[in-house]
Amino acid sequence: MRPIRSLLLPLLAVAVVAPGMLAAPPAQAQNFFERLFGIKPERPPMPPRGLPEPSPAPAAPGEPGPPAAPEAPRPAPAPARPVVLKTPSEEGVIGQDLQLNGLAGSLKLERSGTTVTARIKLPGTKISQPAESCTVPLAGGNPVTLTAEGKPEGVPRFEAAGAECPLRFDVTEGGILVSSLGAGPVCTFSAADCATTPVGLWGPAAATLLPRAGEFDTARGVADKAVRDNYKLMTQRARREDVRPIVSEQAAFSSDREQLCRTYAREGTHGFCHLRVTENRALALATRLGANTATPTAAVVPRRPRPKPAVEGMNPDAVGGGDALPE
């Protein structure tokens, strides 16, 4: 039997074209017969290299075009006006027994006509023996007359500038933020052998705050957002040279809040101190932005109680339901 290639030679010799036409190149003809008789498999065409990809053809009228690339998320713009939370009233703390960090001392505001007074017992440590605690009643236990200073930072403010330990009182919801009007945060009473540091949040004991932890957590989210929005609006309105001090002030607020609230009793469980300090900060920023704090623009939406999961075969809410078995 002749080889296949020898059979192809006569065919290639007879492949004469008609006048006016060109014959196929020998290499192409050979490749054709090799693929025809299975001598050599056909190779897939190699795409050209280094050529730019063709741009997609424009869509015809009425037909949807190619999907557009997703745009990068843009930062949320600052609100057009300041966010105002509900302003606390001194009536909410008049007559309430408050303690520094919910632990020690006592502070009670009282009203007599248009005058507001305070009875304060300052907790501290003994000067001669710092390991031992002590308590000093301000003004010998008599009421200290407070001067109303209005709402310079959005909340009611009172001062006892003439007291033995000059203090400032900024009202919060259910508490009072106390700061010093003296040269430092420490007030020393040599006759009582006691050094006191009354600066901080005076509020309820932790036992009364724990059941409201969920409420405080929800309100904290609203207060944090109000601070961020008012801070952004303030930086947008400020001149370029005034932006850096505003940024530094906001950073200092976060660290100061953490330092102030870290000593409040069970703060990590209920979050009362962080919430009240943040709310007052939001109101202070709104006041500086010229907002009317008498009309709140943001409110806390109460959480809906979650339904209890159903338990088959027993009613956990019924008396003795956990022990009774169906007959």
DSSP 77: P
Q: Angle of helix 213-237 relative to helix 272-288, nearest 10 degrees?
A: 30
Which candidate, 220, 236, 207, 209, places its Cα nearest to that of 279? 220
Q: Please tell me the chain's helix, strand, coil percentages from 3-state DSSP, rounded to the nearest 5.
A: 30, 20, 50
Domain boundary assignment for the chain:
78-302
Half-sphere exposure of 172 (CA within 13 A, CB side): 23
Q: pLDDT in tens for each of the 327 residues of the chain?
A: 455 555 555 555 544 444 444 454 555 555 655 565 555 555 656 655 655 555 666 656 656 656 666 666 666 665 679 999 999 999 999 999 999 999 999 999 999 888 999 999 999 999 999 999 999 999 999 999 999 999 999 999 999 999 999 999 999 999 999 999 998 999 999 999 999 999 999 999 999 999 999 999 999 999 999 999 999 999 999 999 999 999 999 999 999 999 999 999 999 999 999 999 999 999 999 999 999 998 999 876 555 545 545 544 444 444 344 444 344
User: Does this model's pTM top 0.75?
Assistant: no
- Residue 133 phi, psi dihedral angles, 5° rounding: -90, 160
